[in-house]
Chains A and B, each alone.
Chain A
């Protein structure tokens, strides 16, 4: 059925070009999913039915999951005393070689296709309308027409390139990282499926099709977080991610219902057309945007739904890099940019997005300060950086938000993969000695720069990029976001609106301040992470130290590519100030047809051109803040004083609160989860269902019937004489009735 093309975009400049092969983009990873999925159903090794390792051997081989391994070790000591060494046995899947080829290859081909399509788009020059391809009618019902249709425009092109490009690199890295896991084909099946859904998300031509990808990536995230599902914590984390995302999806669904009920359309072209007819800043468009943003807070881990992302680190590290840093979590940013017309009509919603983004940025950054797990640091950093992107798209600087999305994809993927490489080395070291120490805790690392030089250098590049040091990728994108907020605080529809009674300009200034503070914290915690991991004395352990080493080329190769991108990613959209470096505002021009009009609506049609000195001041303060943060961290922190995790003292006071993430998870548990389950069990099930409905009404009526019946059966004494009496009296009564009438 996919074959029956119905190209509605006849006459579009892209018609007849390689862009016609758009549908192949998600289909390629899907093919990979099918192949790898079938392979994964073949058992890893032929295990006898009596093999006690059927449950544990497989799980023991996985690469990391620090605390997980520790817990597991404890358990296996209990369960199988003689199990000991076997625990670290490598069980490579029989068809691992095939998976190693298929998994990355489909992505590489997809990336090639994406580049070809990009070149075709460059070739046709000006393209004002999106290239929409209808394949078949998906949900026709009455006046509702939802087609399975893809839409290609400049925004989705950017996303496709990031997804397939970074995706290919991460797939390659995974080959090295996951090869010895018995679930290797399954891992690649999920990863391929994820990319397929992610591409559907960014290619979908309507909200429902986007929603397919939206929930699909959530599913893959669920499956990959719980990849090592034998550990309850991992399975819990996956479930939590799915359910929290569903809360967000609820918002997105309601937004769609509101759109259809009021605009009668759900495809982007139709909605954008109809949206301009809505009242500017009216309650309807605000409600639509706010519900949509609820969806974004779920997928992109913003307050209050950010809680799933740190837990999501239970998945394999490349997964964290691909899904929970580079692509999926940025879907919310994409959605807002995609719906920029709507958001530009609703200043209050835009301010809400900005505020939530700013709060999330600073909030997550403070937590990141005190995390010991290297991946948790990066997770909170991701939450914080996503907050930045939302500051951007919320305040109407859509290009800035997308720009940061792209650069963030580069450097955060690099950071995660680098940490993966560190964990890989750490685990390999512990593996050799059979130790059960935590391979992800920074207190067990230190001085790794001596053992893994490539990783060390690349990680520093990424750190400087995320901290905002000039000429690294993050510097340009972060600076653009902060600058836009500052400028819009003076003159824009947002500044004129008021948010909960606070003037919009004050809100934006506050967001700017929070953004700066978050930048400072980012520089501090990232430097802290680097110092504790790579510098100072090594705390891994005497024996283990000899086994530390650099990862194989298949893992370092992608790191190098990402390092280059993190260095030069800023060239995508250089500010006017740095015109000496190259062409200015390339991304601005590229995305102009998609978000330009909306951005101008926010700034009341005036292009925000700052005065030269203001711009200099802005940039200067940002640079100063970044350097200050790095210096503070370098001066204040003493990696040499750190002790390994096993000997670490308890934390106290505010440190402890930070280390425990402000106890938000516990609060949610107490306030939301436990009452829901308690009320469901105690009141709804035992109380209403079994207590009232079933025992009072249903079985009560049965008891009533039985009571009446037992009365009747008492009358039925079996004495014929009594029956005769009753009969005669009955006859009397009947005759009497006739007589009286």
Chain B
């Protein structure tokens, strides 16, 4: 089932990418990133069956990081929204030098 799992993983990942590229809502983009993480997790789990348990450990860590990321990211979005009254990234260019 390895090949199939990788297939699904790749498709899901691509969908996530397309989402990031086409959407401008910060929360949705954020969720797309989560989707991409999940897609990667799927391949990790699939590889774990073929190559050893380390893949699962990795998934564990990815989830932890994702949780942390979600907490901080959402906090940032909230702060941003308070500041700008929008989460549309087109209106936000704080990164511009």
A residues with CB within 8 A of B? 713, 716-721, 723-725, 728
Q: Say which one of B1-9, B44-52, B60-68, B89-97 lies at the interface with A.
A: B89-97
Asked whether A718 lies within 8 Å of B24 as measured between CB atoms, the reply is: no
State the CA gap A717–B97 with chains docked (Å).
8
How many whole Å from B74's CB to the nearest CB in chain A?
16
A724 contacts which chain B residues (CB < 8 A)? Answer: 20-21, 29
5 A-B pairs with least C-beta separation: A718-B96, A718-B93, A718-B95, A720-B89, A724-B20
Q: Which of B17, B24, B94, B96 contacts A721 (CB 8 A)?
A: B24
Q: With contacts A725-B21, A728-B17 known, is A719 near B94, CB below 8 A?
A: no
Asked whether A719 lies within 8 Å of B21 as measured between CB atoms, the reply is: no
Which residue in chain A gives the minimum CB-CB distance to B96?
A718
User: What sequence of 0s and 1s flags, for each residue 9-51 of chain B, a beta carbon within 8 Å of any chain A beta carbon?
Assistant: 0000000010011001000010000000000000000000000
Which residue in chain A gives the minimum CB-CB distance to B89?
A720
Asked whether B95 lies within 8 Å of A716 as measured between CB atoms, the reply is: yes
Q: With contacts A721-B89, A721-B90 known, is A716 near B21, CB below 8 A?
A: no
A717 contacts which chain B residues (CB < 8 A)? Answer: 93, 96
State the CA gap A719–B29 with chains docked (Å).
13
B17 contacts which chain A residues (CB < 8 A)? Answer: 728
Asked whether A719 lies within 8 Å of B93 as measured between CB atoms, the reply is: yes
Asked whether A719 lies within 8 Å of B90 as measured between CB atoms, the reply is: yes
- 17 A-B pairs within 8 Å (CB atoms) are namely A713-B97, A716-B96, A716-B97, A717-B96, A718-B93, A718-B95, A718-B97, A719-B93, A720-B29, A720-B89, A720-B92, A721-B21, A721-B24, A724-B20, A724-B21, A724-B29, A728-B20
State the CA gap A716–B95 with chains docked (Å).
8
Q: With contacts A724-B21, A728-B21 known, is A719 near B97, CB below 8 A?
A: no
Which residue in chain B gives the minimum CB-CB distance to A731?
B17
How many whole Å from B19's CB to the nearest CB in chain A?
10
State the CA gap A218–B17 with chains docked (Å).
86
A719 contacts which chain B residues (CB < 8 A)? Answer: 89-90, 93
State the CA gap A713–B96 with chains docked (Å).
8
Which residue in chain A gives the minimum CB-CB distance to B32?
A724
B93 contacts which chain A residues (CB < 8 A)? Answer: 717-719
Interface positions of B from 55 to 97, Cβ below 8 Å from A: 89-90, 92-97
B20 contacts which chain A residues (CB < 8 A)? Answer: 724, 728
State the CA gap A713–B97 with chains docked (Å).
7
State the CA gap A717–B96 with chains docked (Å).
5
How many whole Å from A724's CB to the nearest CB in chain B?
5
How many whole Å from A107's CB to the nearest CB in chain B?
78
State the CA gap A720–B96 with chains docked (Å).
10
How many whole Å from A703's CB to the nearest CB in chain B?
19
B92 contacts which chain A residues (CB < 8 A)? Answer: 718, 720
B94 contacts which chain A residues (CB < 8 A)? Answer: 718
A720 contacts which chain B residues (CB < 8 A)? Answer: 29, 89, 92, 95
State the CA gap A375–B21 with chains docked (Å).
97
Which residue in chain A gives the minimum CB-CB distance to B24?
A721
State the CA gap A713–B93 with chains docked (Å).
13
How many whole Å from B3's CB to the nearest CB in chain A?
18
Q: A721-B21, A724-B21 are in contact. List 13 more A-B contacts (CB 8 A).
A: A713-B97, A717-B96, A718-B92, A718-B94, A718-B95, A720-B89, A720-B92, A720-B95, A721-B24, A721-B89, A723-B95, A728-B17, A728-B21
A718 contacts which chain B residues (CB < 8 A)? Answer: 92-97
State the CA gap A300–B26 with chains docked (Å).
92
State the CA gap A723–B29 with chains docked (Å).
13
State the CA gap A716–B21 with chains docked (Å).
17
State the CA gap A72–B56 with chains docked (Å).
102
A713 contacts which chain B residues (CB < 8 A)? Answer: 97
A716 contacts which chain B residues (CB < 8 A)? Answer: 95-97
How many whole Å from B15's CB to the nearest CB in chain A?
13
State the CA gap A724–B17 with chains docked (Å).
9
How many whole Å from B97's CB to the nearest CB in chain A?
6
State the CA gap A724–B29 with chains docked (Å).
10
